[in-house]
Each structure stands twice: as structure tokens, then as C-alpha cells.
Structure 1
Amino acid sequence: MTTLICDCNQTMPLDAKALGAALHEELTLHSTLCRREAGAFQGAIRTGQEVVVACTQEQRLFGELGTQTEGAVSPVRFVNIRETGGWSRDARAAGPKIAALLAAARLPEPPPVATVTYKSAGRLLVIGPLDAAEQAAALVADVLDVTLFAQGPGTAGGAQARRFPVLGGRLTGLTGWLGAFDVQWSADNPIDLDLCTRCNACIVACPENAIGLDYQVDRSACDAHRACVRACQVAGAIDFGREAGVQQERFDLVLDLRPATAEPGFTRHAPPQGYFRSDGRDMGVLLRLREMVGEFDKPRFFAYKQKLCAHSRNETVGCHACIDICSAEAISSDKGRQQIQVNPHLCVGCGACSTVCPTGALSFAYPGATDQGARFKTLLSTYAAAGGKDAVLLLHSQERGQALIDALGRAAQLRRAQGVPANVIPVPLWHTASTGVDLWLSALAYGASQVVVLATEEEAPQYLAGLQEQMDVAQALLHGLGYTGSHLRLLRAGDALALDAALQSLRQTRQVLPPVAARHGVAQEKRATLELALDHFLAHAPLWKDGLPEAIALPAAGAPLGAITVDTKRCTLCLSCVSACPAGALQDNPQLPQLRFLEKNCVQCGLCASTCPEEAIALQPRLLLTPERAQLRVLAETQPWACVRCSKPFGTLKAIEAMLERLAGHAMFQGEALERLKMCSDCRVIDLYSSQREAKVTDL
């Protein structure tokens, strides 16, 4: 591995010797690596070793140099050390952070995952006022096959030249994704737009002005004079007796020029790939449309393990956190199969579902938790080894979040802002909602003083609510163990100066942390990682001196840990909760009528409470700190019921008594029938057969 660092024309105070010592590599400091010293880059990429270039601004230039360099075989990675640390008021203290960023850039790439493929032939549907639709279509028609769906003439009064196919009627449905948008409409416009010559005779003839220059009839204004029909009798384009049939057509792309609240349409926060809302004048949208022809792949961002899912059992719904938080509406309940279903074409890879999933049934696959954990561990261990103190991990998105950090770095270089503090380590994520309590606590166990998630204007409101709930749970765990301070924070900033002020305010906070860093690795299984992190914090808990509490109460919203309470007066030991529990937290006893509970396994999904016919179960979010958390304990028990005929136990005393009480007044369970309910199944059959036989003998 070869690392190339550059102080960008001596605008960054880099210490090559100290950085090399942290990376165990001899480094040479360059000042114009992208210009006069480009030969050093060309020499490095001829060696065959992987090359890390500490510059992202000139990534394109280095790519071009690579293609022009004979014998260049080395793979190249790029990392930003300029805006993230070198351009800051305290850049001279940023050496440990820069070393950490360089070390993380040297980690192997995450293993590839399955992909989701989209195919687009460029068939574009533009929905909106006819004049605006035609103007937008004209800018992309040389690349795309455009069809218009007119929704009014527009302010310019429509257009006369027939340049594009125009659909008319009432839009009734719009579903799908890139390459597979299904559009449904009711063809209730009396004017056949294929026959219409746009002579405007109908508009002139209509006394109610019910026909616009989009050549659609406003039925609410039309007074059935039919003057338009007479005016169009040569072309024959107008027929009020035509049946309004439902039509459907498929398109690859959709450009929607209607207001954001218009229906039908995609009004959710994360629309599907290939769907764009615009006013028609946004050149960025039109340029993106022009590029969306061909075959496109994206990672399948999620992995789903149905056996861990706490969504549904026995046609009863328990946990639905993933469905509630998904801003793309890609997750739905499959009641027939008793599980959730994720549409990979609608999934945008935010990872919020994995963050709020209490069991780990849904996990973020690219990068997986193991790779992300290794990244956090490398950043923090390198930072500490290089002498860094009070590390703060700043988790941000690769798009808007990265843009804010870049803008802040430039503002600091121009002396307009402080810049990213030396102890704040920016970590780009595919999406800020893709990490949760297991990774956050692991990062804190590895030595971070704080984990800060940067929220910009791109996140859905439910993402921010879900992240805050998870942070509240993690913070409650830490405070309950005696770790004072604010270890987790959701930081909101809309511009570079707001981000600057928020980052500077972090300097005023102090957190109590374990005296030693954890050594555990992050497992792909969420619950396993959470347990390892909790064990580390428990082993070094400040409250050990004064005595730990028996349990730490957790917020009800989003808590993945806890117990249940059972009203033993109402519980009949029917054990329906046992069959519903997806985590094995509730168990029966084959030898005795008992309901047993293993608290360590409980995920607080609520399926047991929803299933219980007696409404005898309530959730209790908490972390139990006594050894009983990992031990089976009896929550309810009763005496067995013995068959009144053969004395064999076949049920519980409470269950049989409850059944007798409820059916005592029923007409079908009187006399002998009621008595048979006290028998085992074998004896019921024998008694019923004997009774019928005696009745036949009596009749004879």
C-alpha cells in the first residue's frame, strides 16, 4: 500500500513524519501532486500496489493521468483530508484525525452484494399543463421518446404544433419504478386527440368556454349545447356518447410538472427511481432524464431473515417499525406469509428499517455492519494511537452532508468560519439513517467520546424521529450505568455556518467513558453486537463503586430490550403467547403448566401482548442488570386439570375453569355436554359414543 499526501500548495500544516509513524509507512510530503509533482503519482501507480491519494478535488485529473500512464496497474483510492481537517483554524492539531482518515482509506473494500437491475428504453411520460409539458419535452426529445399527458392548457394557452403524442382524460393511477411505470387513466374526454386537428373551431363555438387549448372538455362547465359537435362534424373528433374506457400504458420515466400534492402521483418523501417532480425549468432534472437510458444496477442494500422477524405470527401483527419508517413505501405487510415484504426496486438504501428493527431481521447489507464496525474501530484506534483525545465521530450523508463539510472547509480557509474541529472525524455514509444503536454503542466502546449524526434538509421526518428514539434508548442505557454527558446527538444544519456553530458547541460538552477501549468486533447480527457493547460498558460502569441498580428503565418508543409483566389472575396458561414469540423469550414447560421467560431474548415486539386473549400481558422496556436476565424464570403457573373420567392431566386448572365459566350458559353445553368439557379428548369420544349407544338401546 502506498499513500500519497499533499499539502495543497502549502495551505495545510501536514507532518509527514508523524503521519507515517501512525500508518507504519514512510511518507513524502508533496505540495503540487496534481501539477508539477504528478510524476510521483504516476510512479506509484506503476508499482502494482494499491495507492491512496489524499485528495478528492483532483480525483478526475488523477483518473485521466492513470489512463495516460503506461504500465499503470495499481488500484487507486481517494480520501479528503483538506476540508475535513487540513483547512481548519486548529489544523495544526488535526494530525491524529488525518492519520485516522488515511488508515480507514486503506481498509479493503466491502465484499460485493447482489444487485438490482433497471432497464430503460427512454420512454418518457410528461404530466402537466400542455404548454409546460411541450417545452420540457422539446429539451429531451432528441434522446427520449416523449408522450404528454395534458393536465390543462397552461398559462401560455397550450401549443398548436403537434410535436408529441398527447394523452387526455382523467389520470387514475401511477405506480412502478424506472423502466416499469404503469399509468392508468379514464379516457373520458369527448374529444379524440388523435382525430383533433387543433383548428380551434370547437373552442370558438362553445358558449360556456368549457374547452381549453389542451382540447379537453370541462364537464362541470359544459351545458350540453353540443355546438362543438356541430363545429367539428367534418373531422368528427368530438363524441359525447363515447364510453369512458379505462386505459393503461407502461413508460420507463415520468416527469411530473403538477403541484407536489397532486394525485395520483408519488407524494412520499423518497419517490422511486425514474420519477421526477419539477416546474419544467429545472435544467438539472432534464439533464438527469437525458442520462437515464440503458441498463442500471444498484446494490441490494438490505438483507432479510424471516425467522428473526417480529412482525407477525398467527395472523397477529406485532412489530411494524420498518413499515412505519420507510420513506419510499418499499416495505409492506405480507399477511398471507406472516412476514414483511421489501420491494428492492423501490428501496433507496437509506437503511432506516435496519436501524429501528429490534431483532436484526432487516440489516443493511452494503456496507454490512461488520465492515462499518471495522471502519469505526480503525478510525478510533488510529486516532488514539496518534495521540488524539476526545474523538467525535460525525456521521453524514455522502451527498448533502459531504457538500456541507466541503463548504465549511472552504469557508475556514477563507477565514469565514472555524472549520471542522481537530477532534471531529467526519464519516460519510450512504445515508445517515443506516446506523443504529449497535454501531453507535460499539463506536463509543472503541473510544469515541460522542457519536453525532448530521441531519440536513434531505432526511424524511420519520427518519429523524426514528434516529432520535434510538439515541434516547442508547443514552438511557449509558446514563443508567453512570456514564454522564451527552454521548449521542442528532445535529441539524442547513448551511455551512450553521454546521460550524453546531460543531464548535461540541467543545463545551464532556462525557464519561470506559477507561479502556473495547476489543470486540461488530457482528453482522445486531443483537450479538449490542450484547457485546453492553457487556463492555457494564464491566467498566462508574456505578460499580456505589452499586448498580437492579434495572435501567428505557423509553417505550424504540426500546429493543425489556421484560413483560403477566397478570396472573387473568392468565389461563393457554400459551398462545409462546407460539407467537419470535425470539424464544417466552417458553412453556413440558413437565408442568408454566409460562417461562428469558429476558435476554425479549425484543419488545408486542406480539405476546397482541396475541393474549385475556389481555394479561404488558411490555416493560428496561435493561435488567442482575444474572436473572440470562436465566429462565417462571412468570405464571397453575395446577394441572385432571380428566374427571380417567384422571389423566390434559390442561390447566385456570384454563378449564375459564372455559366452563364462559360456556355454562350456552345452549349447546348443558348437562352431559358441559360435563364432557372436563374430560380429556379420548374420554370425550368414549363418553359420547357410549351415550349414543345407550340412546339407541333405549329406543329399541
Structure 2
Amino acid sequence: MTTTLICDCNRTMPLEPKTLGAALAETLPLHSTLCRREAPAFQRAIQSGDEVVVACTQEKRLFGELAQQTPGAESPIRFVNIRETGGWSRDAAGASPKIAALLAQARLPEPEPVGIVNYKSQGRLLIVGALDEAERVAALLADTLEVTIFSRGPGSAGGAQERRWPVVAGRIDALAGWLGAFQLRSTRDNAIDLDLCTRCNACLVACPEQAIGLDYQIDNAKCQSHRDCERACSVAGAIDFARPAEALEAGFDLVLDLGEAPLIDWHAPPQGYFHLRGGLANAQAPSTLLQLREMVGEFEKPKFFDYRQKLCAHSRNEQVGCRACIDVCSAHAVSSDKALQRIVVNPNLCVGCGACTTVCPTGALAYAYPHAPDQGTKLRTLLATYAAAGGRDAVLLLHGHEGGQALIERLGREARLGRAEGVPAQVIPVGLWHAASTGIDLWLSAIAFGASQIAVLATGEEAPAYIEALRAQMAVAQAVLAGLGYAGTHFRLIEADHTAALDSALAALRGPQPQRPAVPARFAVGAEKRSTLELALDHLIDAAPAMKEAREAPLAIALPAASPYGAIEVDKNACTLCLACVSACPASALQDNPNAPQLRFIEKNCVQCGLCESTCPEDAISLVPRLLVAPERSQPVVLNEAKPWRCIRCDKPFGTQKAIEAMLGKLAGHAMFQGEALERLKMCSDCRVIDLYSASNELKITQL
């Protein structure tokens, strides 16, 4: 059983316990100070052993402390925000259906645990930057971390005379890795060896061009090769212009980059890498240094994805088709393995945005935090409970767990103070790990479940590639619904980084709602992306307004280029039926006919990866993104066929007449294919061997 505790937060929310209780099939006493005077009600609930849902996130920490202090408290506790998301809003009086939906979602079982990615850091920190600033930062971290400085010039003051930390210099060739596993490749190419240098400053005094700075490295652009410095350092022997450059490699757990331009210039840099432009003058310096001090030990994060190579449409026969996941990843976690003809996802670099899974046309990459079935159950529960409680025209607001959640909570507080309207009654916030982690399979499923609109909130923390991917996915989903005759705009991308912009965008969602199926679907979202899409499409097609006018002829809906559905066009004049495209197709959309020279196509299977297009030696194939609403979509259709060529020796059909004639035309002038050799090309493989053997025997008899 589940016990749900609701609180109107000192009577600032017009909650309706009877309405909420009816929707949840549970009696819900109304509290006003659950976190203070009425805290014993919470303590009694957690002593029952039943799961407890607390409709308050404001005092989550306090409730946790109370649970620790309560004897016999063994109940699992979950928290859900109904205040900023519904109770504090201009529409609060009509928000009961939404609040009931949020409470029902909180009562769902926890998703299955996902795999874990482990990191281990011993605190080996590399600081890269001007020597003076790097040493100032090192002084603040050296009590916790093992510091090494890579000097990139002296800075304004130069380094301290006291050698407190290892200092290296030279040319950085590469920096790669992640928390606990960074590798720095550099070249020591300066005449001064910092390991031997005693910082006596004799070289600075001796140099007539002042080419040596307080980082104790020679500026070769200023040096005129007088070698006075080398003679001044004859005792220590730190300066040697004849010393060859030396390649070095070193490992670190953490990297703090103080340079103007980052060494790793990614939108989502690897964990353990920090770029602090300007050093301690940067406003983010205190929080960055605090994070660094805490990054010693063992850490873990979820493994956000599942990958099934057999579904992947990336590469076949040394041809590259789909690379959508590679192009969209801002963390550089996805790459192409040419040897294995597959993509590789580095879980250590993956930040869990999920964009790669939404643009994947086949479902080879699937999001795992949570898995699609769990996410589908949540959406279906939200919408079903909302409707059962009397709600109408539900809009799902999908948002990230950091920036999006914080912005919605700020908007709720602004609404409470009368400075904003707040989240409308029919807008149901749905928290995700990342705003880009859902795509058309879940969106269309949500429309089938009864949502009137899907809005995705982007707060500016998302990579530009993610925004473009969301737009492209929305264009495909909207084209499907528009083609089926559902009027209106069902998908919206809300870009807002402050409460006023979000408030204005949400207010616009209160207007007339687009069309959707009258009867909500009840199918379960599956683990297979294509299967889920088919279930959603089947429901949407059955109720589609356009189908009433398209009973006689197939309905072909044109889709944008990012579509995972479509057909192919074959130039029959150019196609030789070599069937290279059949072997390249990863989805069995293209097939041959073992009994006749035919190229057949099952449109339902096509993922528009382009492998057939790039493989075709005659450039005879082009992609046609569309959705065919007709039984023919699931049936093999013949795209091209030809008369078979019959062996001139045994009359057995092999190849096609067009292909053999094209080959004969191309090889007729070749010196190796004259006379009998050319005639053998007109034979099947068996007869060709027999003819060669016979000719060889005849030659031997003639020679005898």
C-alpha cells in the first residue's frame, strides 16, 4: 500500500482532498503544517511500513532528518512537488486534476536499476596556465590534491622562487580522457630543463635580448643565439641548445585549465576537466575549486544507454550510412569504429543527454535512465489520472532535472508573489534527466494516450546540436499528425532562460487545443523503438480524420529528411540489379527474389539510413522520406526486375540480361577478354570452369 500526505503549505494552496483522494482511491487528510506542528502525522505514516509519498519538496531534507529520528521508521519515502507546479498558480483552483496526476506518478514503482559507470580519482591534479596564476591556485588546493603545473608563460609576475610543486613546460600535443584517466601528451622542446634549473636567475641576467622569462623558458622568437645564458648555467647544466626535443606522456585524475581558450572545447567536456578562464578572477572560481577538492575517491554514475549492434544502420560493406548519433553528441562520446563497422559509445564521456537515442532511426541506441517502458508507463499514468479526475486538454511539459526544474520552481514562487501567472492548470511538468532524452516514439505515444500537446523546455544549457535535433524530431512528428488530418500544433519547443519568458510561453498554451484521438490508447510502450512507433501510429491512424477521405487510395504523407520512415526510388534505367543494396540494408527493407531477378522492398522496415544509396555503384537509388498509410506498407513490392540472362552453354539463367550486356560492353576492348575469354563471360560459373578445363586439356593434347 501507499500512504499519500498532502499539505496546503500554510493554506497557500486551494487543495481539494476529496477530488484528489477519489482519483487515487485513497482518503487524503489535508495538512497545513506537515513539516512543523503536524509532523507527527508524517512520523506515524513512516512507521506503518507502507510506502509514503510526501507532496512537498521544500522540506525534503527536514523530513529525511525526521525519518532518521523516528523509531521503527522503515517506510520508503518519495517526494513530489505540487506547490510550484500547480498549487501556486493563477489557475490553482482548477489544478486538482493535474495534482492528482502528479501524485499518481509518484506512487509508481521505481524503475529497474541501470548499469553503473565507475570512476576512481587519487587527486592527481594538472593545472595548465600562466605560472604565476597557476601557483596561486595550487596554493589553495595542494593540501587536498597532488598538484602538477604545466606552465604556459610566466604571467604578469612570474613564478615563486621557492619550488613547491612540480612544474613542466613545452608544447601540449594532446589532452584526452576523463575523471581518473586523463592522458597528457607533450613535447619538451625548450633549451632549459626545468628539472635541473635552480632558479638562480643567472640566465635572466646574462641574456642580452631578455628572451628568458620568470617561467625559466627561452622565447625562441627573441633569442639571437648568443648562448650567454648557456655559459652562465655551466655549473647547473640546465641549459643545452643541442638537447633534442623529448616526447612526454603523463596521467592525471583531474585537469584545471586556466587558459583563455580551453584545451577541450566541447559543449559537454569530460568529467574531471574544468576550464576557469582568468583563474581566481573568474566568478566561478570558488565553486570550481570546491568541486575539485571533493573529487578524490571513487565515484559512479548511471550507464545511460543500451546499444544493440544488430539493429545499427551505421555501416555495412565499408560504406557509412546513418551517423546521426555521432553528429549530435556534444560530449564526443560516440565514434565510428571502421574496423568493426559499428559505432562505439564511451560510457565515461556520456553525460546522459539521450539525444543520440532520439535521433537513432532503428532503436539500436536506447535510453536507459529510465528505459522507454518505464517512461511510457509514467506518461500513460499521468494522462489517465488527469482525465479520470476531470482534466481536459492536457499539455505535457518535458524539462531537465537541473535548469528546467529550477526555472519552473522559480516561476511558481513568482506566481505566489503575484509577479507571474505560473504553470497553467492543464500543463503537467514531467521531469527528465535531460530535456533531449525523449523523441517521436514517446511523443506520439503521449498524443495517443490523450495529451493534446507536448512542450519541451530548453533553458540554454543544452548544446545547439540538441536543439536542432529536437526541432527536427518535432517537425517529423508534426508532419505525421498533420498528414493524418489532426489540425493544430501538437509539438512546441519552449526556449526560456528566465521566468518571464517561461511564463509568457506557458500562457500561450492555454489557447485552443489541437485535434487528437477521441479515445485514448492503452498500449504499453515497449523496449523496441520501432515497435512502439508502430503501436502509436496504428492508434493515430485508426482515428485519423484524413482516413475518412482516403479509404479508396493509399495515403502517402511527405516527411522531413530526419524521418525514420520512408521509401526509396530506383532509376530502372540505371539499376543493373546487382543487389549490392540488398546486402547493405540493415533492416531487411530491401530483399531479392531467389526465383527471379527482382529487387523487392518492404517500406515498413525502411529506416532511411542511406546505406543503399551510398552502396549503389550506379547511383540509381534515392531516399523518399514519407509515411505510407496503406496495407502495401507491410508487404513486399517489386521496385525493379529484369529478364534473366541464360548461359550460352547450358541455358541455365544467371544474372540479368542488362547486367551481363553492360559487363560485356565494358570489357570487350580489354586485351584479356578477347575471343573465347569474352564468350566465357556469357556462361554461368559452372560452365565457365568446365570450358576453361576443356580448353586446357585441348591445349595439352595439341602440345603433345
Q: Give the alignment's TM-score, normalised by structure 2.
A: 0.97
Identify the residue that residue 138 of structure 2 maps to in structure 1. Answer: 137
Identify the residue that residue 675 of structure 1 maps to in structure 2. Answer: 679
- The whole-number CA distance in structure 2 between the counterparts of 1:369 and 1:99 is 23
- The whole-number CA distance in structure 2 between the counterparts of 1:102 and 1:198 is 68
Check if 1:51 corresponds to 2:52. Answer: yes
Cα distance, 1:466 vs. partner?
A: 0.8
CA contact (8 A) 1:351 1:364 kept: yes
- The whole-number CA distance in structure 1 between the counterparts of 2:452 and 2:149 is 56
Identify the residue that residue 642 of structure 2 maps to in structure 1. Answer: 638
Deviation string, structure 1 residues 443-474 (Cα, Å, up to 9, x no partner): 11111111011111111111111111110000
Q: Which amino acid aligns with 2:674?
A: Q
Query: Equivalences for 1:245-644 in 2 at 5 Å?
Result: 245-260=246-261, 262=262, 265-279=263-277, 280-281=279-280, 282-547=285-550, 550-644=554-648
Cα distance, 1:415 vs. partner?
A: 1.2
- The whole-number CA distance in structure 2 between the counterparts of 1:313 and 1:509 is 48
Deviation string, structure 1 residues 94-125 (Cα, Å, up to 9, x no partner): 11111111110111111012111111111111
Deviation string, structure 1 residues 232-273 (Cα, Å, up to 9, x no partner): 33333222222211001100111111123x4xx211111111
Q: Which amino acid aligns with 1:275?
A: Y
**Unaligned 5+ runs, structure 2:** none
Q: Which amino acid aligns with 1:595?
A: L
CA contact (8 A) 1:477 1:552 kept: no
Mark the CA change 1:437 to 1:100 in structure 2 (over 3 Å): closer, same or farther.
Answer: same
- The whole-number CA distance in structure 1 between the counterparts of 2:8 and 2:216 is 64
- The whole-number CA distance in structure 2 between the counterparts of 1:274 and 1:642 is 67
Moved over 4 A (4+): none
Instruction: Name whichever of 669-678 and 548-557 sits farther off.
Output: 548-557
Cα distance, 1:638 vs. partner?
A: 1.0
- The whole-number CA distance in structure 2 between the counterparts of 1:41 and 1:208 is 77
Q: Which amino acid aligns with 2:58?
A: Q
CA contact (8 A) 2:475 2:560 kept: no
Deviation string, structure 1 residues 47-73 (Cα, Å, up to 9, x no partner): 111111111121111111111111111
**Unaligned 5+ runs, structure 1:** none
- The whole-number CA distance in structure 1 between the counterparts of 2:337 and 2:99 is 48
Identify the residue that residue 24 of structure 2 maps to in structure 1. Answer: 23
CA contact (8 A) 2:168 2:194 kept: yes
Q: Which amino acid aligns with 2:324?
A: A
Q: Give the alignment's TM-score, normalised by structure 1.
A: 0.98
Cα distance, 1:509 vs. partner?
A: 4.5
- Aligned pair count reads 697
- The whole-number CA distance in structure 2 between the counterparts of 1:155 and 1:91 is 59
Instruction: Name whichever of 33-42 and 227-236 sits farther off.
Output: 227-236
Identify the residue that residue 230 of structure 1 maps to in structure 2. Answer: 231
Cα RMSD for the two superposed structures: 1.3
Cα distance, 1:214 vs. partner?
A: 1.5
Q: Which amino acid aligns with 1:350?
A: C
CA contact (8 A) 1:473 1:554 kept: no
Helix, strand or coil: the match of 2:596?
coil
CA contact (8 A) 2:105 2:381 kept: yes
Helix, strand or coil: the match of 1:125?
strand
Check if 1:658 corresponds to 2:662. Answer: yes
Cα distance, 1:350 vs. partner?
A: 0.9
Cα distance, 1:127 vs. partner?
A: 0.7
- The whole-number CA distance in structure 1 between the counterparts of 2:558 and 2:150 is 53
Identify the residue that residue 166 of structure 2 maps to in structure 1. Answer: 165
Deviation string, structure 1 residues 401-424 (Cα, Å, up to 9, x no partner): 111111111111111111111111
Helix, strand or coil: the match of 1:434?
coil
Instruction: Name whichever of 185-194 and 98-107 sits farther off.
Output: 185-194
Identify the residue that residue 689 of structure 2 maps to in structure 1. Answer: 685
CA contact (8 A) 1:551 1:622 kept: no
Q: Which amino acid aligns with 1:685?
A: V
Cα distance, 1:501 vs. partner?
A: 1.0
CA contact (8 A) 1:123 1:145 kept: yes
Helix, strand or coil: the match of 2:478?
helix
CA contact (8 A) 1:392 1:448 kept: yes
Mark the CA change 1:552 to 1:284 in structure 2 (over 3 Å): closer, same or farther.
Answer: farther
Cα distance, 1:693 vs. partner?
A: 2.1
Q: Which amino acid aligns with 2:234?
A: Q
